Chain A
């Protein structure tokens, strides 16, 4: 009640002093219910040009969910998920906030919004027993991206159980338009078991006090932004991430592998800095980062304190689809064998190595069990060659790129080739018009003659047995034979 009075008196003072200057905006007109979203989604930008009264209903739920595969945790949440629902309002709006504590919950809860100017940020006014509801109002005086969190004793534990989220107060003039907006929030979890220990994991007070979390994750769980749940964008789009850090203890060094942030609003404020690689986000803080995608591929979101990323779960993905731009990024151009201090040609050591390889090859040939497996092994090995060398143009699914790169999947052109043609294509490259599945292509494929005989054999076996194609394997000897026929492989300049 006290907090409420203070807010009202602040508002009254501001109204008296500032009315002549910001007359148009000091008036509240209309009422609307806030659109709130669960991560990684963000409510749509605010298009209205005036302040209004915004009603927000947020429900606190204590829920059991997966923290990782096979690992459950009792999360305390704003809205049923970690992080809490994303709230979006406009500078000058008057917010009527309802905090509803679900009757099945065990704990009383409250909310401290860093966007509130007033004692406790709303915490004292929103302290609510299970099965009850509290209401308070505040005016969004400062634009910015703010954290909200629970502040009920013991505060650290309420936050460690997932009670945090973001509220964006858009500046009056709005934020510059972008193509995609996403909501990402980091937080750590203090389970009594180690990382990956299965079953329902209780909160560990000692680890929390010592700041030794087994889990550091984005959006409340290991893998919440991975695979099917990855963020997506198209080449050329502007992406804006609203990134918060719930903590409770660790500072995030937020980084997107392979991107440079064109714009960062450090600490969620209004100053913009440019060309940032990694931005620091403290617990109880947030940051807005923006970048334009240029090159297709998968970009990994990490806390660049890397053991958190690779051992504790702080990994997310942004998948960017679109045409490659070789002027900006070529993909792998050369993958040559490099042997530091290789055995010298003709030396005893080299002879031993050759001998050993021959023995292994002999062994495989004479063992029918292994011999029948070789095609699968070749396909598996060939896939990794393909995903390093070929996929940039021919695409991971072999579909090619319309009008530029011919498809490998169910290609009638490939079907008409001999095995030797396949090998020649890779070793010598290919240029001139060809017709594939009724469409003409005139591009050039550079020779991939830096690949070893084994790599070529494997990648061709992979192509001949993937994307719906079926064919017999290509052996190393096949490749050797064709290479010998190609007396002098054409130099790359012949194709330029």
Chain B
């Protein structure tokens, strides 16, 4: 087991080293997100007000079941019956019919879900990519269809919020149906939640009201005082959702997409 962790660790380092050193053209299916600044939704008094985001490449679409099927074919250790429990809980690819048969509950064009953070990261490495960070993901996701920053666009925020009022469906819609945002990225909102590399760094305790209270030094968290924009309910929910996760969790509405250094 230890050996496996080391392998992943080494693989990560080598992937990053390679990516950093190369000046490849943009891979297909990715768009370039320009350099900018992300203002964290939650932040402690000691945290930086703004986080610089270096230009990076981001998948236009979430990873689909079809793509993940190719991955588990090439990497049998990530097949449902083979996966180590340490890296994925009992729900791993639960909606599939078999190791290599997604079946009717997991349409090939729909985003892959019921995948753990470990599995998502292994997939990204297999593509010489990585998972985006919270800052990168949120920075890309605040773009509305018409503007790099949709934060003050009430109709955009309302449209994003709409997803939470839509009944959860057993089978997910195909990717690519959502409108492209300012950068050309689709489905960041309205289809599935997405894993990010540092999902567990959001300091939300689970009790939304305690955060930002007496423990402010540790948790700026989900308490409204710590929030940069208390009206931004979707951001509240994304931060809340991420902080409820552990890296081996596999969840019905949780998929991922990949990023890459430029």
Contact = CB atoms under 8 A, between A and B. Distances in A.
A65 to B, nearest CB: 10
19 contacts: A62-B168, A73-B165, A104-B168, A106-B163, A106-B164, A107-B241, A108-B241, A119-B210, A120-B207, A123-B206, A124-B205, A129-B245, A131-B249, A132-B249, A153-B240, A155-B208, A201-B165, A202-B162, A205-B157
A154 B237 contact: yes
A6 to B, nearest CB: 13
B251 interface: yes
A488 to B, nearest CB: 72
Given A103-B251, A131-B251, A151-B209, A205 B244 contact: no
Contacts of B91: 103, 131
A287 interface: no
A81 interface: no
A203 B161 contact: yes
A152 B240 contact: yes
B32 interface: no
Contacts of B204: 153
Interface string A127-140: 11111100000000
Given A202-B162, A205-B161, A205-B233, A130 B252 contact: yes
Question: Could you say which of A63, A151, A200 has the most chain B C-beta atoms within 10 Å of its C-beta?
Answer: A151
A459 B167 CA distance: 52
Given A108-B241, A153-B236, A154-B233, A130 B251 contact: yes
B170 A153 contact: no
B158 interface: yes
Interface size class of chain A, counting residues whose CB lies under 8 Å from the partner chain: 35 or more
A308 B121 CA distance: 52
A59 to B, nearest CB: 15
Nearest to B249: A129
B135 to A, nearest CB: 19
Interface string B136-161: 00000000000000000000011001
Contacts of B79: none
Contacts of B253: 106, 130
B17 to A, nearest CB: 33
A91 to B, nearest CB: 25
Given A107-B241, A129-B249, A203 B165 contact: yes
A142 interface: no
B219 to A, nearest CB: 10
A127 B207 CA distance: 7
A185 interface: no
A126 to B, nearest CB: 8
Interface string B159-180: 0011111111010000000000
B244 A128 contact: yes
B22 to A, nearest CB: 37
Interface of A: 62-64, 73-74, 103-108, 110, 112, 119-120, 123-132, 151-155, 157, 200-203, 205, 209
B231 interface: yes
B95 to A, nearest CB: 10
Contact of A151 (B162, B207, B236, B250): B207
B148 to A, nearest CB: 23
A157 B208 contact: no
B140 to A, nearest CB: 21
Given A103-B252, A154-B233, A202 B165 contact: yes
Contact of B206 (A104, A107, A110, A157): A110
Summarize A's interface: helix, strand, loop or mixed.
loop
B236 A105 contact: no
Given A105-B252, A130-B251, 7 more contacts: A108-B240, A112-B207, A119-B207, A123-B209, A131-B91, A131-B250, A132-B249
A107 B161 contact: no
A202 B161 contact: yes
Given A130-B253, A131-B252, A203 B208 contact: no
B233 A105 contact: no
Contacts of B207: 110, 112, 119-120, 123-124, 127, 151
A314 to B, nearest CB: 23
A338 B222 CA distance: 64
Contacts of B239: 153
Contacts of B250: 131
Contacts of A209: 231
Contacts of B161: 202-203, 205
B252 A104 contact: yes
Contacts of B252: 103-105, 130-131
A135 to B, nearest CB: 14
A200 B165 CA distance: 9
Nearest to A157: B233
A153 B208 contact: yes
A67 to B, nearest CB: 12
Contacts of B222: 153-154
Interface string B195-226: 00000000011111111000000000010000
A151 B249 CA distance: 22
Given A103-B91, A131-B252, A205-B161, A154 B208 contact: yes
Contact of B244 (A73, A108, A112): A108
Contacts of B167: 62-64, 74, 200
Contacts of A200: 165-167
B237 A129 contact: no
Contacts of B209: 120, 123, 151, 155
A379 B91 CA distance: 65
B121 to A, nearest CB: 18
Nearest to A150: B208
A167 to B, nearest CB: 18
A205 B160 CA distance: 12
B75 to A, nearest CB: 24
A398 B109 CA distance: 65
Given A74-B165, A103-B91, A153-B208, A205 B158 contact: yes
